[in-house]
Amino acid sequence: MPDSDIIKLLPDSVANQIAAGEVIQRPASVVKELVENAIDAGATDISIIIKDAGRTLIQVVDNGSGMSPTDARMAFERHATSKIAAAEDLYSLHTMGFRGEALASIAAVAQIELRTMRRDDKVGSRLVIAASKMESQEPCACVPGSNIMVKNLFAYLPARRKFLKKDSVELGHIIHEFERLALVNTDVDFTLIHNDVTLHRLLHGSLRMRIGELFGKAIERQIIPLATETSLVKLSGFVGLPQYARRRGAHQYLFVNGRNMRHPYFHRAVMSCFEHLVASDVQPSYFINFEVDPDRIDVNIHPQKHEIKFEDEQAIWQIVVAAVREALGKTNASGAIDFNVEDAPDIPAFDPAVGGSAKVDVDASYNPFTADIAVSQDQFPDVATSPNRTSSAGWNERPSALGRERTASLAEVRSALNILEQSRPAVRQMGLDELPDADSNQSSAVAGHSPTPSYITVGYKYIATPVRDGLMVIDRHRAHVRVLYERIMAGIADGRIATQRMIFPESVVLSVSQDLVLASICDSMARLGFDLSPLGDNTWAVNGMPSALSAASPRETIVDIIEKVSQTGELPDTELFRTIASSMAKTAAVNVSNRMSEAETDMLVADLFKTSAPNFTPDGLTIIVTVAMDELSRLFN
């Protein structure tokens, strides 16, 4: 007879590994949990030592309160914590951690060695743990505080270890987590070392100082202070000036009561203040700290404690919007003008007794209300050849602020417009039998061989053309992305990506994580036509750009490529080139602010249908949509 009891209690080791899947997702998660424990222990100096992007070693050394031998052993038990004692304590938290899961989860997936001692003790304690099993605990000599080493992360979960990204990507996540922790704890000294190279050495100070140390001194001139205090919330921090908004790499951080948080609702509140100040495809930077009563927020939402619920979200939204707008309004949404008067000439003040005034030549015969209108000969060439105009000297000439330009009478302009309209190819009505099919790549209308234009440009964004099946609409930007992408990939295959040398090399300042990623793909960038050279201090000189990107911003292009590579992780060379080529194509492609002539539009459509996949962009977005005749009929009832 089969056993009727099928539900069994999981062993602690298995339960810890399940919890570790939520708490410990990658090496950066370990850094976050260990540093938060050190901060809760009152540490004022924290050193983080990393080997091989955290795969081999993550070591955190602090000068906090330390632990007794019993506390050191209990700390690795699930739900063992010193930070709360009852459920009511969840609503009055003043510490980073409180769940009692982090150390138990880390111990389940790695090997741990801990050395810790309290300040009043004469001897410390050393623990060695592997796969949730306590291997040894013994007295040892050490300094006050804690020194915890996490070795061979995910050694007991080979599948999880296999899915880690390459070192540059994982290190980028560690640095990003480090930045979040350093920004919210400005009273703590931090040191970050990777493979014996010191990446950051931060001293305690103000938030503005900490921002400059992390992201470069230049950013201190690009942000303005924000401060307001109400009965619900106290806001402090900085917002970026609109002119320094970026397409990629904007620094956006929200904190609450000294804790990092992700809050899309408040992010939209900040962004709403920049709606009419920046383009839709750029993002401003901001560093905003919320101080609220702990009993009016709930941090017990997710194991990583990044998601936080506010009791007064809608009211705080209004306060955030008002505070950001006030900060921007104080500078008229622009940076302060720094007048450098060191070498300025000495201009004496005006003295009425001395007299003297500037002379202004005025044409007394000039009347701005005459019926004459300025016309360009290039715009209306037929006017110049009119029988009434035997030579250019016959044009009325009059001085203007932009130089001397010709003018014609209103009657002559109307005559020129009539001539121009008659010379323009008339749009003829076409029957269904004359139209190409929507999927025909050999369409004469699409390929540009039709004697009359069979397409129109709509809002400088779409290209519409009639086809046998109905109406075909092409996204102009995406079409250009596909065309440029295939050109770049063809150039990579043939080894003929041309480099446009820059007369004056441009320097690009990156964050530490971006600098590491760029260094790892420098050879691939050279094959793509970039001429880059490191200058130190996370700064690169751009000596040349691919000719296809000669009009693009070097910094935006490079940061866009870095972000793309960071998101995709470990890639073979061919896939890496495809990723970078796609990013380059998106940067260089036309947008709604670019105007194209009929000939250029005709050429773009023709080139699109010569590509291998004209219907989709490299990342799978639709380029061509056909509105069927039945759908058109339905729209017209």
* CATH number of the domain enclosing 166: 3.30.565.10
Judge if 165 and 108 occupy the same domain. Answer: yes
Does the residue 70 lie in any domain? Answer: yes
What tens digit of pLDDT does each residue of 137-169 get? 999 999 999 999 999 988 877 777 887 888 888
In this predicted structure, the answer to whether residue 629 has a pLDDT above a threshold of 90 is: no
541: buried, middle or exposed (CB in 10 Å: 19+, 13-18, 0-12)? middle
Judge if 479 and 597 occupy the same domain. Answer: yes
Does the residue 351 lie in any domain? Answer: no
What tens digit of pLDDT does each residue of 498-530 get? 788 888 888 888 888 788 888 888 888 887 788
Judge if 401 and 504 occupy the same domain. Answer: no
Judge if 291 and 391 occupy the same domain. Answer: no
CA proximity to 545, closest of 553, 293, 383: 553
* pLDDT tier, 125 (very low <50, low <70, confident <90, very high otherwise): very high
Judge if 392 and 463 occupy the same domain. Answer: no
What tens digit of pLDDT does each residue of 322-349 get? 999 999 988 765 444 444 545 444 545 4
Does the residue 547 lie in any domain? Answer: yes
What's at 586, amino acid-wise?
Answer: K
Does the residue 353 lie in any domain? Answer: no
Count of other CB atoms within 10 angstroms of residue 98: 18
Judge if 381 and 515 occupy the same domain. Answer: no
CATH label of the domain that carries residue 312: 3.30.230.10
CATH label of the domain that carries residue 633: 3.30.1370.100
Judge if 620 and 578 occupy the same domain. Answer: yes
What tens digit of pLDDT does each residue of 441-487 get? 444 434 333 434 467 777 778 888 887 778 888 999 899 999 988 88
Does the residue 388 lie in any domain? Answer: yes
Mean pLDDT of 44-70: 93
Does the residue 539 lie in any domain? Answer: yes
Judge if 529 and 482 occupy the same domain. Answer: yes
Judge if 536 and 628 occupy the same domain. Answer: yes
Looking at the 3D structure of the chain, how many domains does it have?
A: 4
Q: Which residues contact 45 (CB under 8 A, 6 or more apart)?
A: 62, 63, 188, 189
Residue 618: helix, strand or coil by DSSP?
coil
The CA distance from 61 to 45, in Å, is 8
4: buried, middle or exposed (CB in 10 Å: 19+, 13-18, 0-12)? exposed
Judge if 565 and 605 occupy the same domain. Answer: yes
CA proximity to 147, closest of 20, 49, 23: 49
The CA distance from 118 to 322, in Å, is 47
Residue 59, CA atoms < 13 Å, CB-side half-sphere: 18
Judge if 135 and 276 occupy the same domain. Answer: no
CA proximity to 27, closest of 52, 2, 4: 52
452: buried, middle or exposed (CB in 10 Å: 19+, 13-18, 0-12)? exposed
- Alpha helix positions (H), 569-628: 573-588, 598-608
Q: Where do the DSSP E strands lie in 37-164?
A: 45-51, 57-62, 111-117, 124-130, 133-140, 145-151
Amino acid 189: pLDDT: 96
Per-position DSSP letters for 371-419, written without gaps between them:
S-EE--TTT-HHHHTSTT--SGGGSEEE--TT--EEEE-HHHHHHHHHH
Does the residue 106 lie in any domain? Answer: yes
Place of tokens 């202004």: 360
Q: Which residues contact 64 (CB under 8 A, 6 or more apart)?
A: 38, 40, 41, 42, 43, 145, 146
Amino acid 50: pLDDT: 95
Judge if 630 and 510 occupy the same domain. Answer: yes
- Which domain covers residue 257, as residue numbers? 215-297+307-330
Does the residue 437 lie in any domain? Answer: no
What φ, ψ does residue 240 adopt, rounded to 5°? -80, 150
What tens digit of pLDDT does each residue of 282-319 get? 889 999 999 998 888 877 555 555 678 888 888 999 99
